[in-house]
């Protein structure tokens, strides 16, 4: 069955790029976020800037919403077409256009897979640090739209920190170019940085230029097991007090550790309260010295066991637990609701305590893991969306967790974006005036509110 919209789209972009069967529309009705889905009217996998402009112009004529989508790995519902209309897929625009090793930049189309970019630049001794958990599937366009973080954020920053320049299409089909390949460019407003984290609501990216840095020479990985989660938090503070900024500093609590052990059987003790995965990278001497500091900080914080990887293979083994955290938690129950609160690092113990209290108060199973070095925690509720009563309690628990994060000077999202799932907390975090200003900016780009509608703001746009 081909709808009249699909036929019109096929006339514009050609056959094989437009999807409109029931099963296809179902596939693009959700992303990696639970509990939110909505079918689009058609899906277009664009292969060129001409395609993008043509689809946007048709959408303008027909007054249709347009929702950009990469690999659909988002965790706040950012690519769910909640108002229907057209889903615009970037995945076929996946060329690495240029790696400029002389000027340390890379130019890509939006559909390039993050891990493919890593591999391509690392072959040349270069490094693109942002490594979101979904990096083997996620696209650079999606990473920019959500300003994605990752395990290396503490030392190296997040996607927006590497963004130099963007070509993007506005909802009216016009093309705009911001930024240059220059690492210093302060001409006009800083729209490039603004677009990092704009969640697909401002424009559709067609070309992205990212900064590269030299690849760290070596690294060393540690797995620290604790009898008390507070000791893990103390290690984070102790490292910062020693002025050590590890490249990775990840936390997992006992719920997560046990789910991982159930799933991948890597021999983690069942009775530990928490673990930290710590990695230092860089020059061999720096790594050696920081490794000694990491050992000392762990010991002073009463670590039970400290495993140190002897080589790259052992390092990968130590990462296994962390890399399997979400998958392992997701196996336990039909529905996994992952959140993304961030607090100033010294407030991690209080945040962990609130998560524990919320789980107890609302009789829920919540496993927490995340980027302790950034104060960015992922409390993950193992539930079943068919159990309406439990889902209601999940909402109450997250409400308690978000309120606490805000009151601790933290934020409702460290790396997943606001999307649909956190929009109701945004006004409390930033205040009504900031919401008003954000809406006015949105309207400046998209007066009819047709580009990825229903995101970020708690109410539909006026």
Q: How far is the C-alpha of 249 from the C-alpha of 278, rounded, in Å? A: 5
Provide CB contacts within 8 A for 370, sequence distance 6+.
Answer: 250, 251, 376, 377, 378
Binds a copy of itself by CB under 8 A, chosen from 422, 451, 453, 454: 422
Q: Please, which of residues 289-318 interact with a copy of itself by CB under 8 A? A: 289
Where do the H-state alpha helices sit in 169-311? 191-195, 229-241, 254-264, 284-300
SS3 221: strand
Smallest gap from residue 388 Cβ to a copy of itself (A): 28
Considering the rule CB under 8 A, would residue 237 count as an interface residue with a copy of itself? Answer: yes
Considering the rule CB under 8 A, would residue 415 count as an interface residue with a copy of itself? Answer: yes
Name the residue nearer to a copy of itself (CB basis): 54 or 244: 244
Considering the rule CB under 8 A, would residue 389 count as an interface residue with a copy of itself? Answer: no
Provide CB contacts within 8 A for 156, sequence distance 6+.
Answer: 129, 130, 213, 247
Binds a copy of itself by CB under 8 A, chosen from 6, 59, 86, 154: 154
Q: Which parts of 30-124 are beta strand (E)?
A: 42-45, 66-69, 86-89, 96-100, 105-108
Name the residue nearer to a copy of itself (CB basis): 360 or 443: 443
Binds a copy of itself by CB under 8 A, chosen from 153, 367, 379, 449: 153
Structure tokens at 421: 């799932």
Binds a copy of itself by CB under 8 A, chosen from 445, 450, 451, 454: 445
Q: Please, which of residues 241-260 interact with a copy of itself by CB under 8 A? A: 241, 243-245
Considering the rule CB under 8 A, would residue 426 count as an interface residue with a copy of itself? Answer: yes
Considering the rule CB under 8 A, would residue 189 count as an interface residue with a copy of itself? Answer: yes
Q: Please, which of residues 316-355 interact with a copy of itself by CB under 8 A? A: 342-346
Query: Within 10 Å of residue 270's Cβ, how many Cβ atoms?
Result: 9
SS3 238: helix
Name the residue nearer to a copy of itself (CB basis): 14 or 431: 431
Smallest gap from residue 238 Cβ to a copy of itself (A): 10
Considering the rule CB under 8 A, would residue 376 count as an interface residue with a copy of itself? Answer: yes
**DSSP at 447:** T
Q: Which residues of 443-458 are buried (b: 16+ CB within 10 A; e: fewer)?
A: eebbeebbbbbbbbbe
Q: How far is the C-alpha of 283 from the C-alpha of 220, rounded, in Å? A: 11
Considering the rule CB under 8 A, would residue 193 count as an interface residue with a copy of itself? Answer: yes
Smallest gap from residue 134 Cβ to a copy of itself (A): 15
Contact in structure between 164 and 156 (CB atoms under 8 Å): no
Considering the rule CB under 8 A, would residue 183 count as an interface residue with a copy of itself? Answer: yes
Binds a copy of itself by CB under 8 A, chosen from 8, 39, 136, 215: 215
């Amino acid at each position: 069955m081909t709808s009249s919209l699909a036929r019109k789209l096929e006339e514009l972009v050609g056959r094989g790029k437009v999807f409109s069967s029931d099963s296809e529309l179902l596939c693009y009705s959700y992303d990696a976020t639970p509990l939110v889905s909505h079918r689009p009217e058609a899906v277009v996998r664009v292969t060129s800037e001409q395609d993008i402009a043509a689809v946007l112009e048709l959408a303008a004529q027909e007054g249709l919403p347009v929702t950009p989508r990469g690999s659909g790995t988002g965790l706040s519902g950012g690519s769910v077409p909640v108002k229907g209309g057209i889903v615009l897929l970037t995945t076929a625009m996946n060329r690495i256009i240029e790696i400029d090793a002389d000027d340390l930049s890379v130019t890509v189309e939006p559909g390039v897979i993050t891990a493919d970019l890593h591999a391509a630049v690392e072959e040349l001794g270069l490094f693109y640090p942002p490594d979101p958990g979904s990096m083997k599937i996620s696209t650079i366009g999606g990473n920019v739209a959500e300003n994605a973080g990752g395990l290396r954020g503490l030392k190296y920053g997040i996607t927006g920190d590497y963004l130099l320049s963007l070509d993007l299409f506005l909802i009216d089909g016009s093309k705009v170019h911001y930024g240059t390949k220059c690492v210093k460019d302060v001409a006009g407003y800083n729209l490039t940085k603004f677009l990092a984290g704009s969640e697909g609501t401002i424009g559709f990216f067609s070309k992205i230029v990212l900064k590269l840095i030299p690849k760290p020479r070596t690294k060393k990985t540690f797995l620290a097991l604790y009898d008390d989660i507070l000791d893990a938090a103390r290690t984070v503070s102790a490292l910062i007090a020693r002025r050590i900024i590890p490249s990775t500093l990840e936390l997992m609590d006992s719920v997560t550790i046990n789910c991982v052990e159930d799933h991948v059987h890597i021999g983690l003790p069942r009775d530990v309260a928490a673990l930290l995965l710590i990695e230092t990278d860089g020059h061999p001497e720096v790594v050696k010295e920081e490794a000694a500091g990491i050992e000392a900080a762990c010991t002073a914080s009463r670590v039970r066991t400290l495993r140190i990887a002897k080589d790259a293979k052992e390092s990968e083994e130590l990462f296994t637990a962390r890399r399997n955290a979400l998958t392992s938690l997701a196996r336990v129950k039909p529905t996994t609701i992952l959140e993304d609160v961030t607090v100033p690092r010294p407030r991690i113990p209080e945040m962990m305590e609130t998560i524990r209290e919320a789980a107890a108060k609302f009789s829920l199973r919540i496993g927490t893991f995340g980027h302790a070095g950034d104060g960015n925690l992922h409390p993950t509720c193992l539930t079943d969306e068919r159990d309406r009563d439990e889902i209601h309690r999940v909402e109450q628990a997250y409400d308690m967790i978000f309120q606490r994060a805000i009151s601790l000077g933290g934020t409702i999202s460290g790396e997943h974006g606001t999307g649909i799932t956190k929009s109701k907390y945004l006004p409390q975090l930033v205040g009504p005036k900031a919401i008003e200003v954000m809406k006015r900016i949105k309207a400046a780009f998209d007066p009819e509110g047709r580009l990825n509608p229903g995101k970020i703001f708690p109410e539909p746009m006026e």
